[in-house]
Amino acid sequence: MHQSADTPGKNSSDIKLIIDSMDILHDKKPNILILVSSDSDFTQLVYRFKQSNIIVHGIGESKAPQSFIKSCNDFIYTENIDKKIKASTRFKTEISILTNAINKIWESNEKKNNTWVELNKVSPLLKKSYPNFNPEKYGCDGTRHFIEEYANAKFDVDNLIISNNKARNDYYKPKSLQTPKLKKSHPKVTQETSTKKLPLCDIAVELKTAWGKYKKEDGWAHLGPAIKFLKRSYPNFNATEYGCRTAREFIKTHLNKDFDIENFTIGNNQTPNAYYRPIK
């Protein structure tokens, strides 16, 4: 950013950033704004962009004020980015092996579903060869999150229904593979066009119950077990129905008035995991 010599100091940089952002809002009309700052002075700027239906992702330090963090659709802590990079580097070879194994599982099952394979087949088959496989080790809520986080360049993951089966399930296939036109003799894979979403208030109640069950002494509960608890009552719950990639993003976007949610590294596990607690 160019800053004139006659306007030194932090405030002049902030003002220049706000002016440039408003120019982008009116001239470019973006879909997403990524704001790298830990300064609450930009809170109103975030709200202005959101009024124009623009998604705002914040990136900053953990010292950032809660008012600024909560104003963003999603906020990534710079401290966690460093931890995520270290975790990804640490498990690079291991992740590569698991990714190849996931592809072999697809190869052995794809004929049944015309390129798409049910994602719920992956975890049990993986554990036959890698019994210690656990997505939480890599900071993920489940197998889908693991693939989206570490193998998104190799696989497409989608929530689909098959005409002969009314239930909605997660499916995956290699990105390089185009879905062929299906013959009449095969079940047709379609994306459900209209699905009744679960009320947010019902989900919030269930997550509060799960929090009471799984919370630790510091008041935080691990999100992974809580989502499994939620799915016992609402097996069809899927964050993608609400335009979110993960359960963490769902809570951050839709239940941010009910819960705080953060990524922490706890105990001997050096990979950060999502934890949440009700807002008092």
| Cα 29 from Cα 40, distance rounded (Å) | 24
Residue type present at position 51: Q
Please report the pLDDT score of residue 5 as a whole number. Answer: 46
Q: Which residues of 41-64 are buried (b: 16+ CB within 10 A; e: fewer)?
A: ebbebbebbeeeebbbebbbeeeb
Please report the pLDDT score of residue 251 as a whole number. Answer: 92
Please report the pLDDT score of residue 231 as a whole number. Answer: 86
Q: What is the pTM of this model?
A: 0.39
pLDDT along the chain (280 residues), means of 10: 47 78 82 86 88 86 85 78 59 83 87 75 88 77 83 84 70 72 39 58 89 85 88 85 87 90 69 83
Please report the pLDDT score of residue 191 as a whole number. Answer: 40
The residue ranges of every structural domain in the chain are 10-72, 86-190, 197-278
| Cα 19 from Cα 7, distance rounded (Å) | 14
Instruction: Yes or no: say if 260 and 279 are a contact pair by the CB < 8 Å rule.
Output: yes
For the chain, counts of helices (H) and of strands (E): 10, 10
Instruction: Yes or no: say if 50 and 33 are a contact pair by the CB < 8 Å rule.
Output: no
Please report the pLDDT score of residue 195 as a whole number. Answer: 46
| Cα 234 from Cα 205, distance rounded (Å) | 12
Please report the pLDDT score of residue 189 as a whole number. Answer: 39
Closest by CA to 58, choosing from 29, 84, 37, is: 37
Q: Which residue is it, tokens 């300064």?
A: 39
Please report the pLDDT score of residue 276 as a whole number. Answer: 92
Give backbone dihedrals phi and psi of 55, rounded to 5 degrees, phi first: -75, 130
Domain 197-278's class? alpha beta
